[in-house]
Amino acid sequence: MSSSDVFHLGLTHSDLKGATLAIIPGDPQRVEKIAALMENPVHLASHREFTTWRAEISGNPVIICSTGIGGPSTSIAVEELSQLGIRTFLRVGTTGAIQSYIQVGDVLITTAAVRLDGASLHFAPVEYPAVADFDCTSALVGAAKHHRTKFHMGVTASSDTFYPGQERYDTYSGRVLNRLKGSMQEWQSLGVMNYEMESATLLTMCATQGLRAGMVAGVIVNRTLQETPDARSMQLAESVAVNIVVDAARRLII
């Protein structure tokens, strides 16, 4: 703690060099890949699920920090980065689509999240909407159009668990609680695009605290067809989403 200004990330205010925008993937292994698409990438710290690099866009510092999986660890990263001066968060990840019209390799830009998590309840009651920032969303849309990527905008279901909370039966027990059975079909009927595990926490945190947040995810599987993605689909979806989020960061900074 003595060598850093925050509890978990291992960072100081001086490490950020005045950065106000952070790109936040879940996977620590994606951080260096994202930083490499910008100028002057520098590794800052690695602690538990949190790996942080700093890079530059046209001389402006940008932070890239992994959050790990789920709302609790995401809330730690967002809290501590905001303490250090970050005011805009762009989340990038991968996701499973639940609408038949969405194809593997498409990009989903989340405008709001269904709050199926628990972490966001520590920031606002469940009636409070988890909505993305308009400027962040517009930047992501502009980037997707620039890259001529097929994208969809809409609502994401954000769950605390990967298996039962997303009504997956390919598990050790095959058990899904009665109250969750049929939940995927219900979200489909309501037009929800996909499941993931972080957006409800991120969007609620930022909306309630005067911070900006946007969310983009590459589709690695369409769950109306199958449950398990292949390696090529995962690589393609990650690459497309990462290029879009870096372009969006550029649009928000310059």
Phi, psi of 220 (to 5 degrees): -100, -15
Quote the tokens at residue 97. 């689509």
Catalytic residue selected from 30, 152, 212, 223: 223
Catalytic residue selected from 8, 32, 79, 251: 8
Q: Is 212 a catalytic residue?
A: no
- Residue with structure tokens 């928000």? 252
Best CA proximity match to 89, nearest among 189, 240, 224, 211: 211
Q: Is 122 a catalytic residue?
A: no
Pairing of strands 88-97, 107-116: unpaired
Catalytic residue selected from 30, 54, 115, 168: 168
Catalytic residue selected from 30, 54, 80, 198: 80
In whole angstroms, give the CA distance from residue 241 to residue 151: 10
- Residue 98 one-letter amino acid: I
Q: Is 251 a catalytic residue?
A: no
Best CA proximity match to 158, nearest among 126, 118, 116: 116
Rounded to 5°, angle at Cα 182 from 180 and 186: 105
Q: Is 80 a catalytic residue?
A: yes
Are 106 and 100 in contact by the 8 Å Cβ rule? The answer is: no
What 3-state class would DSSP assign to 50?
Answer: strand
159-169: burial string, b at 16+ Cβ within 10 Å, e else = bbeebbbbbbe
In whole angstroms, give the CA distance from residue 151 to residue 133: 18
Catalytic residue list? 8, 80, 168, 223
